[in-house]
Structures are given as structure tokens and as C-alpha cells.
Amino acid sequence: MPNGAFCCNGRTYRAPQRPTLAICVDGTAPAYLEDALARQLMPNLAGALDGGAEMLIARAQVPTVTNVNNMSIVTGVSAAVHGISGNHYLAPDGHETQLTDPSALRAETILAAAARAGIGVLAVSAKDKLRALLGAGGVPSISAERAHEQTVGGLDGMMGTEIVGRGNPGIYDPALSAYALDLALAIAPRVRARLVYCSLTDFVQHKAPPGHELVDGYCVALDERVGWALADGWIVGMVADHGMNAKTTMDGSPNVRYLADILDAAGVVGARVLLPITDPYVVHHGALGSIAFVYVSSSEIARAGAALAGVSGIEAVLHRAPAARVFELPEDRIGDLVVCADAATVLGLRATQHDLTGVRNGLRSHGGLHEQDVPLVVCHPLLRGDSRELRNADLFDLLLNFTA
Ligand SMILES: [Zn+2]
């Protein structure tokens, strides 16, 4: 292996030739960047593209939710290998559990493998829910959400907010993503990190379509920070964990199919519906996304599958084994049925179980098959002759192995 190179999950990565920043632009469907570029709101990104960089389209892992795809990006492999099948899953003990504990991760992260090879690494997330997973394998990790009470080794106990020099915005503040990048760029040189992952939050994308002033502010702030990093000699790349689509009816209300109610009406006994998008941040999406897992006994599965497949807005109902194969998911961490909605529909439990207060004025969400296309930009010309289909899990490969 070349000097400083390291292996992770079957791929070899070169050591960073320069400080390298991989950004997860959470929930940023390609249209967000395309629109901002067309209206000249991102001059640094535009400059990189003029200089030979490319805006590529990559595929995200299904379920197209945050934890699953952040883990694909940082491990370089599918959920079948890394084991994170949702933000949330049904644990073997029968309890629904957030998939946020590093013990749930079945593959090493690229950051952890780099650290083992002696490379300084750092993981920053906007949302604290991701911090522990990104910190798997001893990777120094900190979140913007809790930066007032978190630090990493090498900062002499100073909190993240002290390093940035200003207080951190709240979890529902559109400025939190920019703050996460500020945290990454401020801490990295102090702790000699040369490989840095920074995962943003999709609050803005949940609340607004491309072209909205909230989005414009987000894109301008993102571009500014990309510009600062490039000016400081960083290699910079970004990819989204998933896209984002409007999920509303003609009158603007959330377009929901309540699966437990549908199964009850069909006389299915003992079924349990689990929504992999479920996380603590209900204002984003009200726990409503375009995929669901249904747990149901073998005697009821045919009736359940038929009832769900006949519902408008549901476009696929797969049994466990084919779903695991097609979507590259861990078979033991998905439902007996995997239910996929169309682009404009979300799936819920029962009408009585969802608080729609936070999404009454329009629901934008993700989780399903129609949020798989994501933008992938490496801000430098790529030394790449092949035209393989890219995944968001290829970001580190392109950053480390295909830049000059
Ligand atoms: Zn996300």
C-alpha cells in the first residue's frame, strides 16, 4: 500500500494530500444547488465548476433518511453491510429504538480507519443525534446543536462555542448548518485534523423549496464557507444524504396514508407499523416519510400485502428478503413488508398518532424511492476515466483517490 494509505470495508484510500473536507448537505436535492447556481448565489461553487469540477448525480441508499445515508457516506458501503436501516428500528427485544448508538454499526467508518493509520480526523454534525454514530471507533466528534457543552481532545477543554467565538443557533434555526461548518473549519487546524466530515441539517429543505429566501440564505452561507476552505487550501466535496419532495394534497395539507388504520380496516390482526424516518426532530417532518416497515405474522402477510398494495399513493410493497436484496438492507433490521409511497405521498401509523402541528402549512419530506437522486460535487477536477454509477457512499473515494 502507498505510504499513509489505508483500507476500509474493502476499499483502499490514499492519505489526504491536503486537508480534506467532506460535507453532507442534508436533504439537498439537486434542484436546490442548480437553482442557486443559476441565480449566481454560489460564486465559489460556480468558480470550482468553471475550473473543471463537475456536479454529478449520485444515488442514495433506501430508506432515504439521514442516519442510514450518513453511515453509507462515512463507511463507503451499503446498509446491508453497515447495518443502519433507519433512524429508528424494531430491536430484537421488540422495542422500537433510535439507531443512534455506535454499537449498532456493523462496519468501520472511513474516519476511524484513517485515524488508525495515524491521520488526524474530525466529525462534526449539526444534529446531535448523529454525533455518537460519527464518533464510532474513537473519532473525535462534536455537534453544533450541543457545541456549548461539547469539546474534543486537543482543545484544552474549551467548548465548541468558545472555539467558534459565538453562540450556537438552536436545532430549528436555519443558521445551524453554517454554524456546523464554522465549527469544523475552526476546530480542524487546532486539532491537526486532515480528514474532516461535516454533516449539516435539512431543516431549511424541509421547510422550503428551491428559490425560497430561507434556501437562498442557506446556499449563500454554504458557498461562503466552501470558498473559505478552498482559499485555505482544502480539498472540498459535498453530497446529500437524500433529496426532498413536497408531500401535500391540492389544498396544501399533508398527503398521508395511515397504514395501521388501513390494516385494521382490512381485518389484519397483530400487525405493527414502523416508520424508519422517526427521530426527535418532529417539526421537520412529523415522523412522516415515504417508506414504512410492517411487521406481520406469516398467516396475515398475504392479506396485509394485498390491502396495502391497493392503496393509491403506495407504489411498491416488497417482502423482507427481496427488499433486502433490491435495496441492500440488513434483513434482520427491516420489516416483513417494506412499503414505498410515491413521490407525493407519506406513510403514517394511525391518524390519531401523528401530531401534524409542525407540518400543517406544508409537508416536505423524504425516505422513499423518489429522494434517491442527490448532487455530488467535488470542487476540483476529478482524475476519473470510468463512468460507473455513483452513490453518495463514493464521496470519500472521489475526494481521496481521484483528486490531484
Ligand atoms: Zn437527512
Question: pLDDT for 317-347, tens place per residue?
Answer: 999 999 999 999 999 999 999 999 999 999 9
Q: Ligand 1: distance of its center to the CA of 64 in Å?
A: 8
Average pLDDT over residues 31-43: 98
Considering the chain, what percentage of its residues have pLDDT values greater than 70?
Answer: 98
Q: Ligand 1: distance of its center to the CA of 299 in Å?
A: 36
Q: Ligand 1: distance of its center to the CA of 129 in Å?
A: 11
Q: Ligand 1: distance of its center to the CA of 199 in Å?
A: 9
Q: Ligand 1: distance of its center to the CA of 226 in Å?
A: 20
Q: Ligand 1: distance of its center to the CA of 324 in Å?
A: 21
Q: Ligand 1: distance of its center to the CA of 394 in Å?
A: 17
Contact 249, 255 (CB under 8 A): yes
Q: Ligand 1: distance of its center to the CA of 172 in Å?
A: 14
Q: Ligand 1: distance of its center to the CA of 298 in Å?
A: 33
What pLDDT score does 283 carry?
56
Q: Read off the pTM.
A: 0.96
Q: Ligand 1: distance of its center to the CA of 242 in Å?
A: 6
Indicate if the pLDDT at residue 132 is higher than 70: yes
What pLDDT score does 149 carry?
98
Q: Which three cell numbers stand for residue 326?
A: 433490491
Q: Ligand 1: distance of its center to the CA of 140 in Å?
A: 21
Q: Residues 225-242: pLDDT tens digits?
A: 999 999 999 999 999 999
Q: Ligand 1: distance of its center to the CA of 203 in Å?
A: 9
Q: Ligand 1: distance of its center to the CA of 241 in Å?
A: 6
Average pLDDT over residues 308-319: 97
Q: Ligand 1: distance of its center to the CA of 130 in Å?
A: 10
Q: Residues 55-105: pLDDT tens digits?
A: 999 999 999 999 999 999 999 999 999 999 999 899 999 999 889 999 999
Q: Ligand 1: distance of its center to the CA of 137 in Å?
A: 22
What pLDDT score does 282 carry?
63
Q: Ligand 1: distance of its center to the CA of 36 in Å?
A: 20
pLDDT band, residue 278 (cuts 50/70/90) = confident
Q: Ligand 1: distance of its center to the CA of 141 in Å?
A: 18
Q: Ligand 1: distance of its center to the CA of 277 in Å?
A: 9
Q: Ligand 1: distance of its center to the CA of 63 in Å?
A: 11
Q: Ligand 1: distance of its center to the CA of 105 in Å?
A: 18
Q: Ligand 1: distance of its center to the CA of 322 in Å?
A: 25
What pLDDT score does 360 carry?
77
What is the 3 state secondary structure string of the chain?
CCCCCEEECCEEECCCCCCEEEEECCCCCHHHHHHHHHCCCCHHHHHHHHCCCEEEEEECCCCECHHHHHHHHHHCCCHHHHCCCCCEEECCCCCEEECCCHHHCCCCCHHHHHHHCCCCEEEEECCHHHHHHHCCCCCCEEECCCCCCCCCCCCCCCCHHHHHCCCCCCCCCCCHHHHHHHHHHHHHHHCCCCEEEEECCCHHHHHCCCCCHHHHHHHHHHHHHHHHHHHCCCEEEEECCCCCEECECCCCCECEEEHHHHHHHCCCCCCEEECCCCCCCHHHHCCCECEEEEECCCCCHHHHHHHHHCCCCEEEEEEHHHHHHHHCCCHHHCCCEEEEECCCCEEECCHHHCCCHHHCCCCEECECHHHCEEEEEECCCECCCCCCCCEHHHHHHHHHHCEC
